[in-house]
Amino acid sequence: MKTLDLIDSFSEFKEFKNIDRETLMRILEEVFRAALAKRYGSEDNFDIIVNIDKGDLEIFRNRTIVEDDELEDENLEIAYSDAIKIEADFEVGEELSEPIYMTDFGRREILAIRQNLVSKIQDYEKSLIFQKYKEKVGEVIVGEVYQPWNREILILDEEKIELVLPKSEQIPTDHYRKGDTVRAVVLKVEMKNNNPQVILSRTSPIFLERLLEAEVPEIYDGLITIRNIVRIPGERAKIAVESYDDRIDPVGSCVGIKGARIHGIVRELRNENIDVINFTPRIDIMVQRALAPAKVSSLKIDEEGKKVEVFMDPDQVSLAIGKGGCNIKLASKLVGYDIDVYRTGDEDTDDVDLREFSDEIEKWVIDEFIKIGCDTAKSVLALTKDELISRTDLEEETIEEVLDILRSEFDEETQQ
């Protein structure tokens, strides 16, 4: 039977795509049944025998033998005169099975069968990939960079399946070349233009959570629970952990002796600073821990408005806010409250909140000063112009204008 070319193509898929035998047999049978239905109008009376190991396929058509003048459907019935040409002792009413050969099909039909076969195999492969990675969402995988582009990186896993790491899911300091090894978490899987697209992430908090599970056996075993993770990828992360066993120090276990456990994660995340703190349901204590290394003098909690006013010594404010305001942003996200930091003595009536100057100073300029811990007029004036230039992203001319406005405020008060 001249089906060998089709079976050879079929065997290639078996070898390289890891499709199981039963599925291969089912797909091949479906393809031929579709071709038979198109050619003969029905495929119900055909038997298809597939032998994958031998690379062999056989098709038999079953028809009932009828009297010559009673023939109505040539696909389901065969005339007695034609039947005895095949075998002389056939009788009316018996069933005749005869083989169907590839030579019975036309060139276009054979080409259509081949294309249909390839299409079915590809569709099955796509569904396998989609299902496989749908079950891996939230898991860390290791792949090899195949092609780095500006907007994304194409990565191949151990089975040469294509995965995508978008620029938005990369740590800002990530730089990869072809052949580099990448660790990332499977963020989501979606069908795009009928093709499964596996999206990876290195910026997701889940990635950090999985890295911790791998490095800290107590987390993996459930002795320590991660209550919350917040990140500014590549800059800083804060992790709240809790243990229900008093004998276990959750923070110490996560950090390890001399930081051995956490250092490997820090290197993987491009030197991202990681703060691990003990979780507590008490908001006042949680805020103090979240703002570390800054020390809090006192605080006021507005539970309805989900806000906390924190007061601390002037030298602690910049520590609490952090570079670019990242420490206070992460602390707010970690505890679920908006945190406003004030210096002790900010209640002094001689000072003026910087926001009071919104009529004269643009909001984005005020925000730049607040980022570095200068939220009052006197706190800005306490710094030199050079210090303000180095600590903010503002131009010298803008800073000079702001200083003039603030000085004039206190000059007017003095004159009064």
Distance CA 370, CA 394 (A): 13
DSSP state of 168: G
Q: What is the DSSP string of 210-275?
A: HHHHHH-HHHHTTSEEEEEEEEETTTEEEEEEEES-TT--HHHHHH-GGGHHHHHHHHHTTS-EEE
What's the pLDDT at 52? 63
Q: Any idea what the Cα angle at residue 412 is, between residues 409 and 416, rounded to 5°?
A: 140
Q: What are phi and psi of 242, to 5 degrees?
A: -145, 145
- One digit per residue, the tens of pLDDT, for the chain of length 416 reads 444 445 555 555 545 456 677 777 788 888 888 888 888 888 888 988 877 666 567 889 899 989 988 888 888 988 999 888 888 888 888 998 888 887 777 788 888 888 888 888 888 888 889 999 999 999 999 999 999 999 999 999 998 999 999 999 999 999 999 999 999 999 999 998 889 999 999 999 999 999 999 999 999 999 999 999 999 999 999 999 999 888 999 999 999 998 999 999 999 999 999 999 999 999 999 999 999 889 998 899 999 989 999 998 888 888 888 887 889 999 999 999 999 888 875 544 467 788 888 888 998 988 888 888 787 888 888 888 888 888 888 889 999 999 998 888 776 544 44
Give the three-class secondary structure for 281.
coil
SS3 content of the chain, % helix, strand, coil (to 5): 45, 25, 30
Distance CA 314, CA 323 (A): 16
pTM over 0.85: no
What's the pLDDT at 12? 52
What's the pLDDT at 273? 93
Cα distances (Å, whole numbers) of residue 379 to 164, 329, 353, 369, 391: 47, 21, 10, 9, 14
CA 222 to chain centre: 24
